[in-house]
Amino acid sequence: MTRWRVPGGRSVDWAALVADLGTALPSDFRSLAEAYPILVVDDFLSVSVPRPGAEASWASEARGDEILQDLYEMGDTEDYVPYPQPGGLISWATSNSGDVFYWRTSPEDPDAWPVVVRGDNGDWSEFPVGAVEFLAGVYGRTIHVGGMPRYFPSHDPQVLGLSDRID
As a whole number of angstroms, the distance between CA 82 and CA 148 comes to: 23
Sign of CA dihedral 72, 126, 102, 87: positive
Which residues make beta-bridge pairs with 126? 116
Give me the mean pLDDT over the 78-89 stretch: 96
The larger pLDDT score, comparing residue 151 to residue 60, is at: 60
As a whole number of angstroms, the distance between CA 11 and CA 30 comes to: 11
* pLDDT > 70 in the chain, percent: 93
> What CATH number labels 2-155+158-162?
3.40.1580
Cα 154 to the center of its chain, rounded Å: 20
Report yes or no: 124 and 114 within 8 Å, Cβ to Cβ. Answer: no
pLDDT of residue 1: 60
Lowest mean pLDDT among 56-65, 100-109, 122-131, 145-154: 145-154
Label residue 32 by pLDDT band (50, 70, 90).
Answer: very high
